[in-house]
Amino acid sequence: MNTQKNLMMLTIVISAIYGVWSIFAPGNLMSTYSTPEEFVNPVTLNIVMLFGVAAWVVAILGLYIRATVTEENVEKAMMVFALAWLLYGIHGVLAERVLTWPSGLEPSAFSEQTIGGIIFLVLSVVYYIFRKPKSS
The pTM (predicted TM-score) of the whole model is: 0.80
> Are the CB atoms for 103 and 132 separated by under 8 Å?
no
pLDDT for 108 equals 60
Between CA 67 and CA 64 the distance in angstroms is 5
Write the DSSP symbol of residue 101: T
% the chain with pLDDT above 70: 88
Q: How far is CA 21 from CA 7, 60, 111, 116, 133, in A?
A: 21, 16, 19, 16, 33
Instruction: State the 10-residue block means of pLDDT for the chain, 136 residues long.
Output: 92 94 92 81 92 94 94 93 92 75 59 85 95 80
Q: Are 133 and 3 in contact (CB under 8 A)?
A: yes
